[in-house]
Amino acid sequence: MSLHGRPGYHSLEIESGALPFRTLRNAMSATPAPSDHRLAAIHAAVETHRPRPGALLPMLHAIQDALGWVPPEAIPVIATALNQSRAEIHGVVSFYHHFRTTPPGRHVVQVCRAESCQAKGGVALEEHAKRSLGIDWHQTTPDGAISLEPVYCLGNCACSPAIRVGDEILGRVSCARFDRIVEGLREEVPA
Ligand code: FES
């Protein structure tokens, strides 16, 4: 089985009931210095979507698709382009858990928390995932291998509980199978 972790996702996931105003300052403490590559990707995303009505979310999605996260230097670029304050842009980034403000691990593992999966072992699976990786949602293992994220229905309800690794959706994932998948991901040599 080939599992290729890719950082970019197009779906918009909102964790119900949560208003996670994560501070940009905390994110920046683990943030690598800006690079020309990152700045170029940010400006390309902003220029591509600037003419659209409601351009902010498409810009943020394009940046995260390109880089795997929304770096802090994107905030002033977007704010200037849209003639909004940095606080307004940061508020939107913070509101949606989908947008990462720290770089993801080499592999992003999403565990489905929607109804069908929850009814078929998903609760135990998500508790096991957190425990075995030693991290909570939206965190990355200390070795940088795995980022763990919740997702709300992967369209694979018939094979609950389901997870997604990169772009690959896997069903009927037991705790033991989850551990085998993670073990395989850790053994993959980064390209
Ligand atoms: S509820 Fe988990 S895939 Fe649909």
Same domain, 114 and 182: yes
Domain match, 28 and 91 both:
yes
Domain stops at, among 95, 116, 131: 95
Q: Is residue 139 part of a domain?
A: yes
116 & 183 share domain? yes
145 Cα: distance to centroid of ligand 1 (angstroms): 25
* Whether residues 86 and 114 fall in one domain: no
Residues 65 and 10: beta-carbon distance below 8 Å: yes
| 100 within some domain | no
Give ligand 1 pocket residues (Cβ under 6 A).
112, 114-117, 153-154, 156-157, 160, 162
Total domains present in the chain: 2
pLDDT digits (tens, 9 = 90+) for 16-32: 333 333 333 334 445 66
Expressed as residue numbers, the domain containing 43 is 24-95
Q: Are residues 78 and 118 in the same domain?
A: no
Q: Which atom of ligand 1 is nearest to the CA of 159?
A: 3
Is residue 166 domain-resident?
yes
| 43, 77 contact by CB (below 8 A) | yes
Q: Which atom of ligand 1 is nearest to the CA of 154?
A: 3
The model's pLDDT over 35-71, given as tens digits with 9 standing for 90+, comes to 889 999 999 999 999 999 999 999 999 999 999 999 9
- From residue 34, give the alpha-carbon distance in Å to each of 31, 37, 55: 9, 8, 23
Residue 111 forms part of a structural domain: yes
SS (H, E, C) 110-140: EEECCHHHHHHHHHHHHHHHHHHHCCCCCEE
Domain CATH for 173:
3.40.30.10
pTM of the complete model: 0.73
CA angle, corner 126, sides to 138 and 4, nearest 5?
A: 65
